[in-house]
Structure 1
Amino acid sequence: MPASTLPTLNLQTFLHGAPSDRQQFVLTLGQALETVGFFALENHGIDAQLIQLAYQAAADFFTLPDAIKQTYERPEIHQQRGFTRFGQEHAKNSEAPDLKEFWHVGRDEELANPWPQEVPQFQQAMSQLYLELELCATHLLRACALYLELPEPFFDAEARQGKSILRLLHYPPLPESLSAKSLRAAAHEDINLITLLCEATGPGLELLQTDGHWLAVNPLPGQIIIDTGDMLQALSNGIFRSTTHRVVNPDAQRVGPLSPDQERRFSLPFFVHPRADFDLTPLPGCIQRTGGQPKFPSQTAGQYLQQRLQEIGLA
């Protein structure tokens, strides 16, 4: 399923369009997250050269020896900064580990980020990309708020002060000995409010449709993919849909033999998290729009995050 078949939005329409254009952007965004849970975003303001620089820095780091990479692990903070080794994370309710390794970047003022000294351009590229994705997310959350009939700045403080994470994902070439149950990323839903996924270096992302079929999502050049996370689904009492998705192994979408570059895959998702004390209790207006009964429990974002980190093997 090419990303062009997803609803596609132009962020500049929301930022600089006429009032009617902004209203149409909000409507299209809301309907996409309500029915599909995903959409493609164009003209998002994220520097394409910066994305490529970040991918190059990620590639330079992940090709380092394991012994060096593992010096940047931070298990005492549940891997919320720095490196996480191959096979440590698994999807909720999955027995097999995901076939990936990754690095987390967050706000320095909350938890200090380690930076790999072996890759000098790493810190600057990731820090700048974090800021640009954060700004883009602020605009998108404003549109989400308007669709939910909330004040436009409802999520502003969360976007500025939350626990958002930029994840650098590396899916290495598949090991020779591979369990039939192992995928690069098994079926899961995102934990957070929304996710901004920079164009990956290869195919593999699939989302689960309501008819039970898995459909491939391959972004067009210059697009990023946006999806709803569990926290926004709960807050909206299910108005916004947190859609199950996965990253399949190369054989599943292979056309001819794979080159060495195609055997590994990188992606850069930005998980937008609110503050730990943010209340995820379904909003009264959303309860009214969805039948009058809350469908999700009252809990804070911090409580839910801790629960999910335990379920996926990071806590």
Structure 2
Amino acid sequence: MVETLQSEGIMALKPESQYVYFHSGSEASYRKISDKPTGFKSIPTIDLTDLDGSLDDRKKIAKDIYKACSECGFFYIKNHGIPEDIITETFAVLKRFFDLDLDVKMDAHVQKNPSIRGYEPMLETRLDPRTQGDVKEAFTMGDCVMEPEQNFASRTGMTKPPYITQPQNIWPKDAPWWREGLYKYYHHVFELSMKLVRIFALALDLEEEALDDMFKFPITGMRALFYPPTPVATDAASVGLGAHSDFSWLTLVLQDTVPALEVINPDGLWVDAPPTPGTLVCNVGQYMERQTNGKFPATVHRVRNQTGKARYSLPFFLTLDPDATVEVLDTCKDKGEAAKYDALNVGDLYIRRVLPARKKHPTSIAYHDVPQDQWTYSMLLK
């Protein structure tokens, strides 16, 4: 058992445990705990009241975001524009879904969907191999060129790619209200994320529209999560979701009132990211870390529900278009500095992160003997 110490909202492993374990990319990693910590001790909050204001207003928000992302990789946003009644209704829908009988939810089991979307029961994933599995249930949906709610043709001016022959999402047939309820929130958070793309362009010293062509029909994922009541534990390996960094470009998380999210700082210390009314908590993903040459780190985080209460959350993951190229931006290289990351196709990198995390999924099994450098995003769409 690994005991913890708590001080100023920071949970540090005891001195005899000198390293913290986490999962970043597709590899296990360790970080040494600093004897003289200097990293962040709390998560900053950014006010989006003027998100639709003047260019100067947006540049001020961009400046705040640059500071938060370069120093922490995490930040809260308040006055984000998603109506409170939509948020209240969304949490009610989440609770209603996870309260369903297992056989109703299993009708949309993730293994029935080539795109690795759908329902995952308790312990199905295991980000931390020291545990028996992640103590949570989940349901994932995301971008889909075939679902009318996403208006692919009108948004892009293109027709559906011929190799996509079935929807990328899967839904339980006996709970039609689930699809309707998730899409109500999806539309709001997607619109907000597209506004933030332009704010990030300003933060990276680009023209406001400079990144638009990379987000014509981006990869998205929205992951409804239920963490059941669990006993208060002192074992650091007892987690609802193992320590990891996101393989997104940007993540926006809607939390209920139950604290559980923890963020690791550069010193290897865990910092609480508790729910704050009226906010979403956001974090940089691995794609943006690559684009910024590491200036915006994809910060490692985990979920430990040690309250004895049920917890619900709804992260939204935004990634660039699957046919885009992610490479280090010129504005993110200091004078004389070389790019730390090679240019890569977004979709090809995406599948190299998704398949290793779902080794028992039929898509993973089907391509088990195919070298990773031959994996393509289209493998998820067949």
Same fold (TM over 0.5): yes
Count the aligned residue pairs. 302
Partner Cα distance (1:218, 1:61) in 2 = 24
CA distance in 1, matches of 2:217, 2:128: 27
The 1:180–1:284 alpha-carbon spacing in structure 2 relative to 1, beyond 3 Å, is closer
Q: Report Cα offsets for 1:184-240 as digits up to 9, x if no partner.
A: 011100101000101234110000011221011113211111110001111111121
Query: Does the 8 Å contact 2:216/2:321 carry over to 1?
Result: no
Q: Mean Cα displacement is larger for which, 166-175 or 273-282?
A: 166-175
| Greater helix content | 1
Residue 94 (structure 2) pairs with residue 38 (structure 1) = no
- CA change 1:34–1:78 in 2 (3 A) is farther
Q: Which residue, 315, 320, 341 being the options, matches 1:269?
A: 315
What runs of 5+ residues in structure 1 fail to find an aligned partner?
A: none
TM superposition shift of 1:12: 2.3
Distance in 2 of aligned mates of 1:281 and 1:93: 31
Aligned AA for 2:135?
L
2:368 paired residue number: none
DSSP-derived class of the 1:49 partner: helix
**Counterparts of 1:220-231 in structure 2 under 5 Å?**
220-231=276-287
- 2:227 aligned with 1:171: yes
Residue 302 (str. 1) matches residue 347 (str. 2)? yes
**By how many angstroms is 1:180 displaced?**
7.2
- Which amino acid is 1:286 matched to? C
| Matched residue type, 2:50 | T
SS at match of 1:114: coil
**Counterpart pick for 1:234 among 283, 290, 305:** 290
Q: Name the SS for the 2:104 alignment partner.
A: helix
Larger deviation, residues 122-131 vs 74-83: 74-83
- Structure 2: stretches of 5+ with no match in the other structure: 1-8, 11-40, 147-166, 365-382
| One-letter identity of the residue aligned with 1:221 | P
* Alpha-carbon contact 2:261-2:304 (below 8 Å) kept: yes
For the pair shown, which has the larger CA radius of gyration, 1 or 2? Answer: 2
Q: Contact 1:145 / 1:151 at 8 angstroms: preserved in 2? A: yes
Q: CA RMSD in A?
A: 2.7
Q: Is the Cα–Cα contact under 8 Å of residues 104 and 167 in structure 1 kept in the other structure?
A: yes
The equivalent of 2:356 in structure 1 is 311
Q: For residues 215 and 323 of structure 2, what CA distance do their matches in structure 1 show? A: 14
C-alpha separation in 2, matches of 1:8 and 1:145? 19
> TM-score scaled by structure 2?
0.72
In the alignment, is the contact (CA less than 8 A) between 2:229 and 2:305 conserved in 1?
A: no
- Give the partner amino acid of 2:316: F
SS in 1 for 2:49: helix
SS at match of 1:21: helix
Structural mapping, 1:19-34, within 5 Å: 19-34=55-70
Question: Equivalent of 2:98, from 62, 67, 78?
Answer: 62
Please say which of residues 210-219 and 157-166 is displaced more in the overlay: 157-166
The Cα shift of 1:140 comes to 1.1
Aligned sequence identity (%): 27
Distance 1:81 1:46 in 2: 25
Instruction: Report deviation, 1:309.
Output: 1.2
Stretch deviating more after TM superposition (99-108 or 236-245)? 99-108
In structure 2, distance between residues paired with 1:93 and 1:275: 31
Deviation at 1:114, TM superposition (A): 3.1
Q: Find out whether 1:194 has 2:255 as its counterpart.
A: no
Does residue 286 (structure 1) correspond to residue 332 (structure 2)? The answer is: yes
The one-letter amino acid of 1:282's match is V
Distance in 1 (alpha carbons) for counterparts of 2:348 and 2:326: 10
Partner in structure 2 of residue 114 of structure 1:
170
Q: Which amino acid aligns with 2:220?
A: S
Listed one character per residue, the Cα deviations across residues 257-315 of structure 1 (whole Å, up to 9, x for unaligned) are x4xxx1x21100000021112211212332346x5111123222212211111332264
Distance in structure 2 (CA, Å) of the matches to 1:275 and 1:19? 26
SS at match of 2:211: helix
- Structure-1 separation of matches of 2:331 and 2:304: 38
What TM-score, normalized to structure 1? Answer: 0.86
